[in-house]
Amino acid sequence: MNIGIDVMGGDFAPLEAIKGIHEYLTSNHFPNSKQVTITAIGNQSAIESLLKEYQLTHIPIVHAEDVIGYNEHPTKALKEKPKSSISIGFHLLATQKIDAFISAGNTGAMLVGALFSIKAIEGVIRPTIATILPKLNGNTGLLLDVGLNADCKPEHLEQFAVLGSLYAQHILHISNPKVGLLNVGEEEGKGNILAQSTFPLLKSNTQIHFNGNVEGRDLFNDKADVIVCDGFTGNVVLKLAESFYDIAHQRNFHNDSYIQRFHYENYGGTPVLGVAKPVIIGHGISNAKAFANMIDVAEKMIETELCKKIEQSFQNQKAVSTE
């Protein structure tokens, strides 16, 4: 398998991306690294000097003479900068030169590229992005959407539940993951119009294990493995959790083993779920550990053929609905 990395994306590019490649290929934490070819996309001279410094041989380089900045308009930048590292990365992915694409660069450009270069899987109304939820009992959960879809309809949340369940099952290794609907109360009938309309859809969907409504206090317990909400709510929760970690760090609580699990670097980046090929978006401040974990997520998505499993799931659902 071949994983492409935009080494020019991120506040500390290209150094941390190259260091992340080195960590992934040399650390015992990533046992499948010998099966992976990593293609570095970016400024060739900068990449070559860093690869030499970190003694990384046999790393293919695809030169990109341009970079999409954080403040640039995503659609305009992708159109006007076809030789940027993000544009070239999506071209390589679309033409099957690489099997997955990773970047910590312009998030909007990554989302636009994923939606228009790779496109959504047939049947997926809106792809989604998720974040990991560290559970108090040591387990791991998933929250989605966390920002890609601010305004949602009930059928969007229903699909998020399916996408999240498949990711939890095949990547997080959660058997028969429990799905919860984020709401202001546990009882059926609670919440706004979106929540009230989504509940019966989740309840009747045979592809998921729906466990009812969950409240904000349930996010980090074991009531649900996959929690669905609109992207506006999810992004507020995500940013609140990030600030929780920052405050704990400022107050010297960050050495607590549970608090440490909130650090973004432990999970690398977030996949865009519902598009035809693996696309991983990293935090702009990604360090070497984060890049290494992003590569690991991409490797697992390729190895498990998650995108094909999602495609098959939606094909099956379409077949059932037409019977």
The tens digit of pLDDT for each residue in 261-304 reads: 888 888 889 999 999 999 999 999 999 999 999 999 999 999 99
What pLDDT does 317 receive?
77
Do residues 214 and 182 touch, judged by C-beta distance below 8 A?
Answer: yes
Q: Does residue 84 sit in the same domain as residue 28?
A: yes
pLDDT for 235 beyond 70: yes
Is residue 318 in a domain? no
Q: Hunting for tokens 């003694």 — which residue is that?
A: 55
Question: Is residue 210, in this structure, part of any structural domain at all?
Answer: yes
* pLDDT tens digits, 167-202: 999 999 999 999 999 999 999 999 999 999 999 999
When pLDDT is cut at 50, 70 and 90, the band that residue 323 belongs to is low
Considering the domain architecture, whether residues 129 and 117 belong to the same structural domain is answered as no
Domain assignment present for residue 9? The answer is yes
Same domain, yes or no, for 134 and 248? yes
| 116 domain-assigned | yes
Q: Is there a domain that residue 293 lies in?
A: yes
Q: What value does the mean pLDDT of the chain take?
A: 94
Residue 32: the pLDDT is: 86
Say if residue 133 is in the same domain as residue 251.
yes
- Whole-number Å distance between alpha carbons of 196 and 200: 8
Would you say residue 87 has pLDDT above 70? yes
Residue 48 inside a domain? The answer is yes
**161 shares a domain with 235:** yes
**CA distance readout (Å), 11 to 75, 87, 190, 219, 289:** 21, 18, 43, 30, 14
Does 161 lie in the same domain as 133?
yes
Does any domain span residue 286? yes
CB within 8 Å of 156: residues ≥ 6 apart: 125, 126, 145, 149, 230
Same domain, 92 and 221: no
Give the pLDDT confidence score for residue 31 in this predicted structure.
87
Mean per-residue pLDDT for 150-177? 97
**Residue 321 forms part of a structural domain:** no
pLDDT given for residue 244 in this prediction: 87
pLDDT for residue 321? 60
CATH code, domain with 202: 3.40.718.10
Q: What is the mean pLDDT of residues 19-41?
A: 93
Residue 106: pLDDT band by 50, 70, 90 thresholds? very high
Per-residue pLDDT, averaged over 215-236, amounts to 96
272 Cβ contact list (under 8 Å, min separation 6): 110, 111, 114, 127, 128, 129, 148, 279, 280, 281
Q: Which domain holds residue 241?
A: 125-266
How many domains does the chain contain in total?
2
What average pLDDT score do residues 131-144 get?
95
3-state secondary structure of 70: coil
* CB of 116 closer than 8 Å to CB of 163: no
Same domain, 74 and 180: no
Provide the 10 A C-beta neighbour count for residue 216.
12
Do 24 and 113 sit in the same domain of this protein? Answer: yes
C-alpha 176/C-alpha 279 separation (Å) is: 25
Please check the confidence at residue 210 and state whether its pLDDT lies above 70. Answer: yes
Asked if residue 107 and residue 17 are part of one domain, the reply reads yes
Summarize the confidence of residues 56-66 as an average pLDDT: 94
- 129, 256: one domain: yes
Residue 320: per-residue pLDDT:
61
Which two three-digit tokens encode residue 197?
Answer: 């309309």
- Give yes or no: residues 144 and 35 share one domain: no
Per DSSP (E only), the strands in the chain are 2-6, 37-42, 61-63, 100-103, 128-134, 140-144, 178-182, 209-214, 226-228, 269-273, 279-282
Residue 318 has pLDDT above 80, yes or no: no
